[in-house]
């Protein structure tokens, strides 16, 4: 099968086509990992590039992500069954006290499209819940989102809690969200900051060596 076709369906956001293509590929014995590596990841990489270069806007990315997610929903169970690994586990959530999730969802979807095993804890996530999830899934990356100046300090609280739980050297902690900046990330001892979803994927790739 031509994997370029699946990539193209993701790029243009053809979720019906992506679902049918993925099912056909699975029926013909193609592995879940090959579908992700050769179809979905190149497609989402291109979406990320277009978003970075202002050729795509948020709605375009969401439409592409929907196509990617439908395909992922078919391959994910097989990936787990066969024990085939993804590019690594990432935990993501919006910090405690904060209910904004549009940007965080976008980052999570893009990371999933890039081949990571994303554990999305949703909104209003306590430091304890973030760290429990990191530990349980041996996640190499923790991504925190905050949209309110009043909830940004929860990022620092979570980082301190990670140190106290002796997890700090086991997980890279990345932060993002509209009021967050590079300088803030440095000040609170985070390992990195990304201003948007595409650059969050670039950052995670660079840390995970991909
Ligand atoms: Co809220 N809100 N809101 N809100 N809201 C803001 C953030 C605000 C700036 C509006 C304003 O006053 N101009 C303001 C914050 C002011 C401040 O703190 N200085 C504000 C306020 C005050 C509030 C309430 C307190 C209002 C009230 O009740 N009085 C309340 C708080 C509730 C709470 O959280 N406890 C509240 C509620 C809400 C809604 C529920 C109505 C809704 C949220 C719906 C939802 O998320 N499901 C909402 C919305 C929609 C907004 C605005 C309009 C849009 C936010 C958004 O989704 N942007 C926002 C104003 C604005 O930003 N223009 C506002 C689009 C999204 C794609 O961008 O989230 O920045 P963003 O994500 C980007 C990047 O930042 C980055 O990648 C994403 C994609 O490129 N990124 C990451 C995000 N997370 C990342 C994590 C990473 C890396 C990158 O990890 C490594």
pLDDT tens-place string over residues 134-193: 999 999 999 999 999 999 999 999 999 999 999 999 999 999 999 999 999 999 999 999
Ligand 1 atom with the shortest distance to the CA of 203 = 91
What are the residues whose beta carbons fall under 8 Å from the beta carbon of 204, sequence distance 6 or more? 90, 111, 114, 116, 141, 143, 174
Which backbone phi and psi does 30 adopt, to 5 degrees? -75, 140
Give CA 116 to chain center in angstroms: 7
pLDDT band (50, 70, 90) for residue 48: confident
Tell the residue nearest (CA) to atom 45 of ligand 1: 100
Across the range 40-55, mean pLDDT stands at 88
Pocket of ligand 1 (CB under 6 A): 58, 97-104, 106-107, 143, 145, 147-150, 174-179, 194, 196-197, 200
Lowest-confidence pick of 21-25, 50-54, 88-92 = 50-54
Closest CA to 91 of 54, 117, 115, 113: 117
CA of residue 100 to ligand 1 center, whole Å? 5
Q: Which residue has the higher pLDDT, 44 or 135?
A: 135
pLDDT score recorded for residue 133: 98
- For residue 122, the CA-to-ligand 1 centroid distance in Å is 14
Would 3-82 and 89-208 be classified into the same CATH topology? no
Query: What is the CA(131)–ligand 1 centre distance, in A?
Result: 24
- Interval 60-104: pLDDT, tens: 988 998 998 899 889 878 876 665 667 899 999 999 999 998 889
Q: For residue 123, report the distance from its CA to the centre of ligand 1, in Å.
A: 12
At residue 130, the pLDDT reads 98
Q: Which ligand 1 atom is nearest residue 101's CA?
A: 46
Nearest atom in ligand 1 to 174's CA: 91
**Residue 153 neighbours by CB under 8 Å, 6+ apart:** none
Q: What are the residue ranges spanned by the domains of the chain?
A: 3-82, 89-208
Looking at residue 82, its pLDDT comes to 65
Question: Distance between CA atoms of 20 and 77, rounded to whole angstroms?
Answer: 17
pLDDT value at 119 more than 90:
yes
Torsion angle of the four alpha carbons 43, 48, 49, 50, in this order, in degrees rounded to the nearest 10 = 90
Higher pLDDT, 122 or 103: 122
Percent of the chain's residues with pLDDT above 70: 97
* Superfamily of chain region 89-208: Cobalamin-binding domain (3.40.50.280)
pLDDT score, position 165: 95
Residue 24 has pLDDT above 80, yes or no: yes
| 3-class state of residue 173 by DSSP | strand
Which protein residue has the closest C-alpha to ligand 1 atom 61? Answer: 178
pLDDT score recorded for residue 157 = 98
Helix (H) or strand (E) holding 141: strand 141-145
Burial of residue 29 (number of CB atoms within 10 Å: 0-12, 13-18, 19+): exposed
pLDDT at 41: 80
H/E element holding 163?
helix 153-164
CATH topology of domain 3-82: 1.10.1240
Query: pTM for the whole thing?
Result: 0.85
Per-residue model confidence (pLDDT) at position 193: 98
Please state, in angstroms and rounded to a whole number, the distance separating the CA atoms of residues 21 and 68: 12
């Amino acid at each position: 099968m031509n994997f370029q076709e699946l990539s193209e369906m993701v790029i243009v956001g053809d979720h019906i086509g992506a679902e049918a293509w993925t099912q056909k590929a699975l029926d013909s014995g193609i592995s879940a990992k090959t579908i992700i590596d050769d179809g979905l990841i190149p497609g989402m990489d291109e979406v990320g590039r277009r978003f970075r270069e202002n050729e795509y806007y948020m709605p375009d990315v969401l439409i592409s992500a929907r196509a990617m997610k439908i395909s992922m929903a078919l391959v994910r169970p097989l990936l787990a069954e066969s024990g085939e690994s993804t590019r690594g586990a990432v935990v993501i959530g919006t910090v405690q006290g904060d209910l904004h999730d549009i940007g965080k969802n976008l980052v999570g979807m893009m990371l999933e499209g890039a081949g990571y095993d994303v554990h999305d804890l949703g909104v209003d996530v306590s430091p304890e819940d973030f760290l429990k999830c990191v530990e349980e899934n041996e996640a190499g990356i923790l991504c925190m989102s905050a949209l309110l100046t009043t909830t940004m300090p929860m990022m620092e609280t979570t980082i301190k809690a990670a140190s106290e739980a002796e997890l700090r050297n086991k997980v890279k902690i990345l932060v993002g969200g509209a009021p967050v900046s590079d300088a803030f990330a440095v000040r609170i001892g985070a390992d990195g900051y990304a201003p948007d979803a595409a650059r969050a994927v670039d950052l995670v790739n660079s840390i995970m060596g991909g």
